[in-house]
Structure 1
Amino acid sequence: MTYIQAGSKEFKQAKLAFLIAGLVTFAAIYTVQPTLPLFSKEFAVSAPAASLTLSFTTGLLAFSMLAAATLSDRIGTKRMMVLSMVFTSILGIVTSFSSSFMMLLVFRALLGIVVSGVPSIAMAFIGKEFSPKDRVMIMGFYISGSSIGGMTGRLFTGLLTDLFSWRLAFAAIGIISLVLSLLFWYMLPAPSTTDNKRIEWKAIWPSYQMHLMNRNINFLFILGFLLMGSFVTMYNYIGFSLMQPPYLLSQTIIGLIFIVYLFGTFSSIYMGKKAKQYGTSLILKMSFLITITGAVITLFPNLISKIIGISIFTFGFFAAHSIVSALVTERAKENKAQASSLYLLFYYLGSSLVGSFGGYFWDHFSWIGVIAFLFSLLTAGFVLVVKCSSQHKAVSITVQKRKALLK
């Protein structure tokens, strides 16, 4: 197998290309998040209903990725990602013309379908085209791009919405994304293997089933569900909290808070390197504990404390997500695209289901209810990491002993 060599021109371009891929997709998906309170007012809907503009996107994305992974075997991984990014950008522009809440939901649902051609394929591409020692770092660049995209999408949406309207904000981000998509097409090296495989629909389910039944991988899917559900819930409802007394923050100021995504940009690369140095199990446990700590700190009423808490929470989330993502591609010995799709299926189902369900806790128990909900999810994830890490270590020791006996 010929990998893209570290230090080469193709390697450097690929790093930037995956940074762009993460940026474009996450900007498109999460542009609506800072405008949820505005949707609630403009279209006269509740907070949980407004959150459907995000949940519909991530829900359709979750299931569409299963088909996207198989379709990429036919049309090619790079082509699949390029087409997905271009159509996602165009649909982002079209969404700005929504004249009703129902039309907005339809466009956001369609966006969830077309954007599905990037996340799982990107993970599979990294797993195939880069050597094992480089995968965590390249995945870190992709996750960093996603954090930058999530930050800039929310930041520019808040700023342009205050200055003009959310419609102009959506159109502007769509145009910028389209330009970046073309740059991605130019910079990403062609895959070393030619896809163009005939789609065997009967073989699709077995390729997913093998991963669902693999205990070394399936617990990672649950971690993705818990992590993303917690993350989206935090950012869905913090805006509602900060627009109320005693804060009464404007849309622009709330958008500026998303600058804390920079902590995620840093942590996904930094903690990825630490995982290589000290082991993924230890750093993943630390990442969960950091995320939990950040969530609890947001309970302090002082605005500065909330910002610090969100920053720590974001640092921990992106660190954990990048490590878990790399583990999926590492442990899937075959059908990597399908393994990535399953992980992201659970990941975005967490965004869709948990993100909307978190609105119940906001409506009935205010911010303390939201944090209690997140605390329970993240604690469950930490316990799962501890339990499965111990089992994996025991299995590894047993395998080593058997090899020693055979010698």
Structure 2
Amino acid sequence: MGSTPDGSAGWGGHRRGSSAYRRILIALLGAGIATFAQLYSPQGILPLIASELDVDPSRASLSISAATTGLAVSVLPWSLVADRIGRVRAMRIALVSATILGLCMPWCPWFDLLLVVRTLEGVALGGIPGVAVTYLSEEINRKHAAVAAGTYVAGTTIGGLAGRLIAAPIADATDWRIGAFAVAVLAAVATAVFFLITPRPQGFQPHAASVTSVLRIAGRQMRNPRLVVLYAQGFLLMGGFVAAYNYLTFRLEAAPFFIPVGLASLLFLAYLAGTVSSRVVGGLVDRHGRKRLLLVSTAIMIAGTLLTLSESLVIVVLGLVVLTGGFFGAHSVASGWAGARAEHGRSQSASLYNLWYYVGSSVFGFLGGIAWSHFGWPGVVAMVSGLALIAAIWAACTSDETKQGNLA
């Protein structure tokens, strides 16, 4: 494929195996670590936050929901910024802003102030998820885009895992503020990696997009049932996934487990199942089609959720691994499909997927606390399984146009 330095029509994208292809994936790994380590680091230390700041579990979970809400409302504005100044420049601004706020957040003396900072941090982090997927579609050859997207999602799981594994043990040994600060330091290092290794963009061409045009495109996409069903996957599946992880720590602290927060954080190693599944599923799209893989992944997520009802720690861990693998497999399919299926405004479609993805995280991450307070872990499992079942039924009604060389 001809490549042109100015991103002209002759540009065909970096091919898998090239130096630039590898640099892009490593750079997005850094961005994924910086983003998702900060976004979800409080999840593993929610009991400590609740105890020290004297709030109940559902209110403590707002430290997650505030950030994901900020991210949700900012993804469309960030897509507009990225259309004008470029994907890489937008992501750099987002990462620096979020990291500065992340370094400040642990030292907030009041819970309400912490929520304000977390909301602003989420707004800054909104410049990564939707923009990163669009960036991949512009810089990576079309034949390898699904694999690259799966690899990027795998990188985000590493970020989410790192944030939880670092914050919880340090917080358990010292204080939750020190644990959260350590994660922000990691994010600063990952941001530096992104700055240093990202190759010069070749596929980007500035768009004179306006707020009106972005809203018009987004409105048209929200009236397209073929796209709405994909946004719904993010909304429902992510909502259930976050609820499960938010309240699992509370469950493990109680009978019959009585596991300390630091030790319970090791269960977040289940995220590695998502690292593997998102990468594997991305590579199977051409052979099996997106719809089939989405439904199978969602069924696996439901099965894993039901396994966590057991009072055997071994089976709970197994269930968490299965749940996580299924969720990230479904997410890698749906997120890539949301961009590929949009005939116009792919950046806006990717941003809408992320908007509903994080709205789901915010809404059901909080509602899971109500289910936990009233019905315990079975209530959380019922909510998570129900959301995934609705997503699967809805997905079953959509067509699968994905064939090799034909992404509709």
- TM above 0.5, one fold? yes
Q: Which of residues 218, 230, 237 is equivalent to 1:208?
A: 218
Alpha-carbon distance in structure 2 between the residues aligned to 1:108 and 1:146: 19
1:352 aligns with 2:362: yes
Question: Partner of 1:107 in structure 2?
Answer: 117
- Aligned residues of 1:56 and 1:112 also touching (Cα < 8 A): yes
Kindly state the Cα deviation for residue 131 of structure 1 after the two structures are TM-superposed: 2.2
- Aligned residues of 1:120 and 1:340 also touching (Cα < 8 A): yes
| Residues 73-128 of structure 1: per-residue CA shift (max 9 Å, x gap) | 22211011011112211211111111111111111111011111111100111122
Kindly state the Cα deviation for residue 213 of structure 1 after the two structures are TM-superposed: 2.0
Alpha-carbon distance in structure 2 between the residues aligned to 1:180 and 1:36: 24
Alpha-carbon distance in structure 2 between the residues aligned to 1:312 and 1:362: 21
Question: Partner of 1:42 in structure 2?
Answer: 52
Q: Which amino acid aligns with 2:223?
A: M
Question: Partner of 1:18 in structure 2?
Answer: 28
Question: Partner of 1:296 in structure 2?
Answer: 306
Alpha-carbon distance in structure 1 between the residues aligned to 2:309 and 2:334: 28
Question: Partner of 1:90 in structure 2?
Answer: 100
- Aligned residues of 1:75 and 1:195 also touching (Cα < 8 A): no
Question: Partner of 2:241 in structure 1?
Answer: 231
- Aligned residues of 2:256 and 2:311 also touching (Cα < 8 A): no
1:257 aligns with 2:260: no
Alpha-carbon distance in structure 1 between the residues aligned to 2:26 and 2:200: 14
Alignment of 1:46-125 (within 5 A): 46-125=56-135
Alpha-carbon distance in structure 1 between the residues aligned to 2:138 and 2:228: 20
Structure 1 unmatched runs, 5+:
397-407
Alpha-carbon distance in structure 1 between the residues aligned to 2:37 and 2:286: 29
Question: Partner of 1:219 in structure 2?
Answer: 229
Question: Partner of 2:334 in structure 1?
Answer: 324
Q: Which amino acid aligns with 1:187?
A: I
The secondary structure found in structure 2 opposite 1:117 is: coil
Question: Partner of 1:188 in structure 2?
Answer: 198
Question: Partner of 2:406 in structure 1?
Answer: none
Q: Output the TM-score relative to the length of structure 1.
A: 0.94
Change (3 A) 1:16 1:194: closer
Alpha-carbon distance in structure 2 between the residues aligned to 1:195 and 1:86: 24
Q: Which of residues 140, 143, 149 is equivalent to 1:130?
A: 140
1:369 aligns with 2:379: yes
Change (3 A) 1:196 1:131: closer
Structure 2 unmatched runs, 5+:
1-8, 404-408
Alpha-carbon distance in structure 2 between the residues aligned to 1:153 and 1:242: 19
Question: Partner of 1:33 in structure 2?
Answer: 43
Question: Partner of 1:403 in structure 2?
Answer: none
- Aligned residues of 1:26 and 1:146 also touching (Cα < 8 A): yes
Kindly state the Cα deviation for residue 195 of structure 1 after the two structures are TM-superposed: 4.4
Question: Partner of 1:279 in structure 2?
Answer: 289
Question: Partner of 2:254 in structure 1?
Answer: 244
Q: Which of residues 350, 365, 385 is equivalent to 1:340?
A: 350
Q: Which amino acid aligns with 1:203?
A: S
Alpha-carbon distance in structure 2 between the residues aligned to 1:301 and 1:316: 22
Q: Percent identity?
A: 33
Q: Which of residues 156, 161, 168 is equivalent to 2:166?
A: 156
- Aligned residues of 2:46 and 2:61 also touching (Cα < 8 A): yes
Kindly state the Cα deviation for residue 197 of structure 1 after the two structures are TM-superposed: 4.1
Greater share of helix: 1
| Residues 293-343 of structure 1: per-residue CA shift (max 9 Å, x gap) | 000000111111111000000000000000111111211232211111100
Question: Partner of 2:325 in structure 1?
Answer: 315
- Aligned residues of 1:159 and 1:251 also touching (Cα < 8 A): yes
- Aligned residues of 1:27 and 1:149 also touching (Cα < 8 A): yes
